[in-house]
Amino acid sequence: MIKQTSISLPFVSGMFALGLLFLLLMPLKIGLLMAFGILITLIAYYRTDFALYFAVLAFPFLPDVLGLGMILGVSLLSMYKTFVNGEPLIKGTIPYWAIFLFIAICIFNTFTSISFKGSIRDLGLNLSAIGFMIAMTNTINDESKLYKILLWMVISAVLVSLLGLYQYKVGVTINREWLDVENIPDVKARVYSVFLNPNILAEYLIMTIPIGVGFFWSSKSYFKKIGFLGAVGIMVLALVLTMSRGGWVGFAFSAIVFLLLIDPRWFIGLIPAAFLTFSMLPQSIANRIMSIGNLADSSNLYRFKVWDITTEIIENYWQSGVGFGYIPYKTVFESYIRTMPIFHAHNTYLQTAAEQGIPGLILFLFMIFVILKYSGIVLLRGRKNSFKYIMCSSLIASLCGALMHGMFENILYIPRIIFTFWIVVGFLMVFYKLNIDSEYDLK
């Protein structure tokens, strides 16, 4: 049982006074933000589950610094409560060891990095997100809380998607490098919502759409099914309008994984449905899909060049990489070619190998294998049509879709996508804890 934290009058008074001080002494906007942060801190201290719900709802909309502060704050307060209550930091039999192995090499590569300050940025983001994941697995101790936090994740994704659809309707300014005017002249717009880049929005939606599909598939009420179908439709439409080909491939792969896990017979119907859908698509979207294998496409040529140079970096730094994070990679990459400024390798696996060497790539892949293995144990112990089986299948599909998209983008680069990735992993770990540990019951 999780102990209730007793009310501490000095703690509440101190936090209230601090919030009032921020309001009085700082500019109004900053003061309100800081006071709001104090409020979230109080909520996190007394009801960590409420703070978790709010965090998964809010983090896509917050600037990176505020988002990091919220994720880190909830993580640290959860650890503090655990310490005060005399409980173990790691509860249950969750297989964190594979994650800790990967983080250990991340820490090592931070200290051996060619840019220590640059590596600290990415290490801090990942450690904060993993701390949040541990807070999730320690706090979510029944099916009701799990249902709520998953639902808030979907609500957040729908709001993000609606903003993207609004952008498409009113029109937004987009960068020239996002379009291939010569080969695909009929693509005029790409939505990006709060993420400032359509490919990043696609990364987020790939990891959240399957959760909405899981709710739709597991709901017994027709009213709920209609609601979740509408939510999924909004998210899928936003994904389509990102015009992210890698995103579409990742989404298609996640759909295949989900259907194979739920019932392989559904996969048979997926093929003709895909052809029928393709025949009904607007010409601009159909042309964009057809350009996926076009070697003359400018963005494809760009990626090939990036991959070629990244491979050279891996050959020269295969033992331990150039250092954890995008800044060491960017620094070394631009020493190979000055005329090609870049932030990442447009491939998660090449990026990981360049940053952390072949050992780092092996540990990353091993971590993914362990996560999927223990998620598979949950499926083996579940009934085919149960909430547990369907939602766990949707989360496996979510992770697999992101990993497929990782063939074309670095999914561990932008802070909000780093948070999303580890939150999805956290959901899978919660399912494992509730399924395996005898003190919990998940039907």
pLDDT digits (tens, 9 = 90+) for 91-141: 666 788 999 999 999 999 999 999 999 999 999 999 999 999 999 999 998
Q: Is 34 within the bounds of a domain?
A: no
Separation between Cα atoms, residue 431 and residue 398, nearest integer Å: 14
Judge contact between 204 and 416, C-beta under 8 A: yes
The confidence score (pLDDT) of residue 4 equals: 45
- The beta-strand segments (E) located in 328-410 are none
Separation between Cα atoms, residue 183 and residue 108, nearest integer Å: 44
Chain centre distance of CA 429: 15
Q: Is 26 within the bounds of a domain?
A: no
> Which residues constitute the domain of residue 111?
97-308+323-436
Q: Is 242 within the bounds of a domain?
A: yes
Q: Is 27 within the bounds of a domain?
A: no
Judge contact between 211 and 398, C-beta under 8 A: yes
Separation between Cα atoms, residue 135 and residue 75, nearest integer Å: 6
The confidence score (pLDDT) of residue 210 equals: 98
* Concatenated DSSP letters of 259-327: HHHH-HHHHHHHHHHHHHHHHHS-HHHHHHHHGGG-TT-HHHHHHHHHHHHHHHHHHHSTTT-S-SSHH
Separation between Cα atoms, residue 146 and residue 154, nearest integer Å: 13
Separation between Cα atoms, residue 257 and residue 235, nearest integer Å: 19
The confidence score (pLDDT) of residue 184 equals: 54
Which segments in the chain show pLDDT lower than 70? 1-38, 41, 91-93, 175-188, 278-284, 286-287, 289-297, 437-443
Cβ neighbors of 65 (< 8 A, separation 6 or more) are none
Q: Is 257 within the bounds of a domain?
A: yes
Q: Is 394 within the bounds of a domain?
A: yes
Separation between Cα atoms, residue 408 and residue 333, nearest integer Å: 18
Q: Is 29 within the bounds of a domain?
A: no
Q: Is 388 within the bounds of a domain?
A: yes
Residue that the structure tokens 């700082």 belong to: 26
Domain total of the chain:
1
Alpha-helical segments (H) within 47-142? 48-58, 64-84, 97-111, 116-139
